[in-house]
Amino acid sequence: MLEHGHLTCACPDLSAFELISLSNQVLFIGLFAVVAWRALRQPTRANLDTTLLFGGIAGAVGVSRVGTWLGYSGEPGLTALSLVLLNAVPFAMLRLVDDFRGTPRWVQYGGAAAFAFVSVLAVSSFAVMAELVELVTIGFFVAVGGYAAVAFATESRRRRGITRRRMTAVAAGAGFFIAAIVAVFIGALFPTLAEFLGLAAQVAALAAVLAFFLGFAPPAWIRRAWREPDLRGFLERSAHLAGVADDRAAITQLEAAASSAFGASGASVGIADGDRRVLRYLTADGAWVEYPDDAFIAGRAFSRQRRTVAADAEAMDPEHAETYRAAGAHTIIAAPISTDERRIGVLSVYADRAPTFVEDDLWLLELLANQAAVLLEARTLTLASSALRAREEAARLKEEFLSAAAHDLRTPLTVVLGQSELLERRIARDPAAPADAAGVGRIVREARRLRDLVSELLDAQRLEQGGAVVELNPADLCQIVDAVRDRHLGQGSPIEVSRPDRPLVGSFDRPRIEQVIENLVENAIKYGSSSPEIVVENVDGEARIAVVDHGIGIPKGERDRIFERFFRASNVQNITDTGLGLGLYICRRIVDEHGGRIWHEPTPGGGSTFVVALPIETAGGDADQEEPAAAGSWSSPVRKGAVADA
């Protein structure tokens, strides 16, 4: 409410209200300190506008606190000054919209004029027309701040990758902050609503500062968690490029993958041409064009063999300003693509707005450039060598690529998963805490997914090197199958299971056998058209576990290769989440370590049946023991006709 010309708010629980209010003030001032320090180190327009945004909030907080300490909290002059500082917030939001996506010039001029008007009105008239000033200020916040929030939300839908996530957070922060300020003013105009609206405003302000923090100054572990899906997409989209025969197709796919990983406007790959001192680039119509290897900002990165950043490409390289302008390349980051033996080319990523990139983008760019070097080198070896030698060398280079990716991702994974699980536990203890439970849950799930990918890559490497990965202990296969079924049932994916009543006990590494069954079931769900089935039998002293699906199946000519590393059937290329082709390879190696066998059979009517045969401990004369069956085949009771003839 308004007391003696000062904007305050009543609350039924002053201690709780003051705690939230003090938390908000500390967080906003802390965030201002972070962005101000960044603006001092990098005085770009976007950084300065961000400093203006949080400086207005921090300034209003400071004026209020100083006035309270000095005993002038009710002075109209101090309240008017606080309003002027707060009015800078929507104006700064409008400028940030122009930084991130651009706005018509008349919108910027109109916003500046509106800011000047409400500020002059607050200074000159608040003492005598407080209610009018408050109504005008509400309109200013709703109009200018609302426009900025909608603009950020709209632009976030057009962007990709981490840029999209940051802009979504900024849009949410703008919306929450405007709602908080409007709620305070409405509470001041209608004292009967002041108690409820005061607390709601503080909660909205807390949500705003958290969203602004994620949008403008996210910590490294959050940025890396946000980047994981894009980096995973780059790995999956580019892992097969070594086998693409057409250079144009390979370069186009590599550029698209890099651009998507950054959420940028585009990417370009320049390929060095031997001793001719030129770089070849692929144009939009598929033609090759050559430039000197030191031309453009990308050429500078190649010739100097170090990463290069151009916040304003036209100013840094005016000779090619028209080319940058036509491509919408206002900001460019570039890194050389090279190995220890030779310089292969250069990878550059560009955006139409400088705030698209953040500091650790250079780390990611170098990582992608290193992986691109491995991929392009693998292509050269594949195309230049005989079929057998090229295949062996490509596998070696691909192993280096995947090993490097696994080690590069392990460190951010540990940080993301640890922090995410900590937040998840806090939410579980206090569901009312003002935290984004859905966002935290997504971080945890994605981090675990990334952990599983890294574990799969390292498992494949250890298995290939002959490392022992199994610890054998007595276990019941029926219980292992039931555990897999129950887990998927809890995730909403029912699995039909047919198994004998008696245990099938043998010496197994339970986690590894569970990993095999889980992998086969996940493949069945991914490539199947209905719920998979698991049939467990005791056949001639060995257990046979059949995982049956009725999906797309495997082309006949490719069935002999499905257990090879990195192999993916040709009919799964259009499926979004196809993996890296390691799952069946790991399954086969684990089964081999247990002295068992695994094979594939087509399911009658379409689909795939994978059968795992493992030795078990049997007692003579078991009543439920089946008749002997031929190796490489399986039999089961008729179960809805699904696998009776497989």
User: Can you give the pLDDT at residue 544?
Assistant: 92
More confident residue, 580 or 300: 300
Q: How confident is the model at residue 624 (pLDDT cuts 50, 70, 90)?
A: very low
Q: So where are the chain's domains? A: 2-218, 224-413, 473-615
User: Can you give the pLDDT at residue 612?
Assistant: 93
- Domain 224-413 CATH class label: alpha beta
Average pLDDT estimate for 108-130: 85
More confident residue, 498 or 564: 498
Does residue 292 surpass a pLDDT of 70?
yes
C-alpha angle 353/222/153, rounded to 5°?
A: 45
Instruction: Name the CATH superfamily housing domain 473-615.
Output: Histidine kinase-like ATPase, C-terminal domain (3.30.565.10)
More confident residue, 432 or 311: 311
Average pLDDT estimate for 236-243: 64
For the range 19-24, what are the long-range contacts, defined as Cβ-Cβ under 8 Å and sequence gap of 24 or more? 20/199, 20/202, 20/203, 20/206, 21/202, 23/206, 24/202, 24/205, 24/206, 24/209
| % the chain with pLDDT above 90 | 5
Does residue 357 surpass a pLDDT of 50?
yes
Average pLDDT estimate for 486-505: 85
Indicate the residue type of 343: R
Looking at residue 421, what DSSP letter applies? H
Closest to 156 (Cα-Cα) out of 207, 213, 91, 97: 97
Dihedral of the alpha carbons of 484, 488, 493, 497, in degrees to the nearest 10: 20
User: Can you give the pLDDT at residue 2?
Assistant: 36
What are 321-346's pLDDT values in tens digits? 888 888 888 888 898 988 877 888 89
- Pairing type for strands 496-498 and 608-615 reads unpaired
Distances (CA, A) of 216 to 166, 262, 504: 7, 16, 57
**Is the distance from CB of 512 to CB of 469 less than 8 angstroms?**
yes
Worst-scoring range by mean pLDDT, 189-198, 516-525, 614-623? Answer: 614-623
Dihedral of the alpha carbons of 220, 226, 232, 233, in degrees to the nearest 10: -130
Q: What mean pLDDT is reported for the chain? A: 77
| % the chain with pLDDT above 70 | 75
User: Can you give the pLDDT at residue 81?
Assistant: 84
More confident residue, 322 or 16: 322
More confident residue, 148 or 571: 148
What are 540-588's pLDDT values in tens digits? 888 999 999 888 888 887 888 888 776 777 776 666 555 556 778 888 8
Average pLDDT estimate for 68-81: 74
Does residue 644 surpass a pLDDT of 50?
no
Q: How many CA atoms lie within 13 A of 343 on its CB side?
A: 22
Worst-scoring range by mean pLDDT, 259-263, 355-359, 510-514? Answer: 355-359
Does residue 592 surpass a pLDDT of 80?
yes
What are 405-455's pLDDT values in tens digits? 564 566 556 667 776 777 777 778 777 766 666 666 667 666 666 776 667
User: Can you give the pLDDT at residue 35?
Assistant: 84
What are 3-13's pLDDT values in tens digits? 333 344 444 44
The pair of three-digit structure tokens given for residue 338, joined into one six-digit string: 């090279």
